[in-house]
Amino acid sequence: MKIFALGCTHGKLPKSFSKDASKADVIVCTGDMAAAGPYMAPGKYKTVKSLYEWWDSLSKSELNKLQKKIDRSYYDVVEKLSSSKKPLVVIRGNMYRAKSGDKFTRKLFNKYNVKYAPVGKRKIYSYDFISLDFHYETHNVRSEGKASKREIKRLINFFRLKLFKKNFPKLLKKSKNAIIVSHVPPYRCLDALGGPHMPKKLIGKHVGSKLLRNAIEKYKPILVICSHIHEARGVARIGKTTVVNVGSFGQYALINVEGGTVRVNLR
Ligand SMILES: [Mn+2]
């Protein structure tokens, strides 16, 4: 089975998408499809903080204009992904999660018949594709570590950690040939913060999911496909499980799964 996998597209699909997707059996997208606001800043910015400062400095009308562009990019990516007519496994990531964004996403997914469950299972060929959408745990709420206890609790509840904790291991336990599609990488695996914009004290900090890590160690799925930490792109192993962080902004992976053997080609 050939998988075309990408994620954190942020409005950008690879030029070869149609060609490569037509050769794949399954398309996987690990979320964050829409353009990322602060990263649309013109010119050169040295730090993440300055990107956000630029974003915060915008007037209401400038923000509205950009928001329309972002909405459009979300729309375009989902339209293109679903145009391949191949089985499509998609999750949402951390973007568009407030009430209006949630509504926007549901409408968009309905329009293109995109099947979605925050934590769910779909059998495709002889494999169980298990989705695990974005969630926060105490150690990774706001990587800056600045959130108050109350805010941490709110974000953990808002992103429904309880639901994931309850259902994710259950689904895995009952699965054969499991392939996990997660927004966040597993803890201490392709999950270290870095890159030129990152404050020094955060470089190397692990912000992956412990829920996912523990489940991998216990249930030994064949493959985990993730993104979210753009700068930690790569292929790694946890025991016999292959983990692929597909990267961002149109980067992708061609993955071949035959029985228990996984081969990964990062593009
Ligand atoms: Mn993300």
Q: How far is the CA of 95 from the centre of ligand 1 (A)?
A: 7
Separation of 103 CA from ligand 1 center, angstroms?
19
Q: Which residue type is seen at 133?
A: D
SS3 81: helix
CATH H superfamily, domain 2-266: Metallo-dependent phosphatases (3.60.21.10)
**Dist CA 160 CA 64 (whole Å):** 29
Task: Indicate the pairing of strand 234-238 with strand 223-226.
Answer: unpaired
Give residue 259 CA to ligand 1 midpoint distance, Å. 30
Parallel, antiparallel or unpaired: strands 127-132 and 119-124: antiparallel
Q: How far is CA 129 from CA 134, 135, 257, in A?
A: 16, 18, 13
Q: How far is the CA of 192 from the centre of ligand 1 (A)?
A: 14
> How far does residue 229's CA lie from ligand 1's centre (Å)?
7
d(CA 262, ligand 1 centre) in Å: 25
57 Cβ neighbours under 8 A, 6+ residues apart: none
- 8 alpha carbon – ligand 1 mean position (Å): 6
> What is the torsional sign of CA 255, 206, 194, 94?
positive
CA 36 – ligand 1 centroid, Å = 10
CA angle (139, 152, 204) in 5-degree steps? 30
Residue among 8, 27, 9, 7 at smallest CA distance from 19:
27
Ligand 1: centre distance to CA 114 (Å): 19
Per-residue pLDDT of the chain (267 residues; tens, 9 = 90+): 999 999 999 999 999 999 999 999 999 999 999 998 888 888 767 777 888 889 899 999 999 999 999 999 999 999 999 999 899 999 999 999 999 999 999 999 999 999 999 999 999 999 999 999 999 999 998 776 678 889 999 999 999 999 999 999 999 999 989 999 999 999 999 999 998 778 888 999 999 999 999 999 999 999 999 999 999 999 999 999 999 999 999 999 999 999 889 999 999
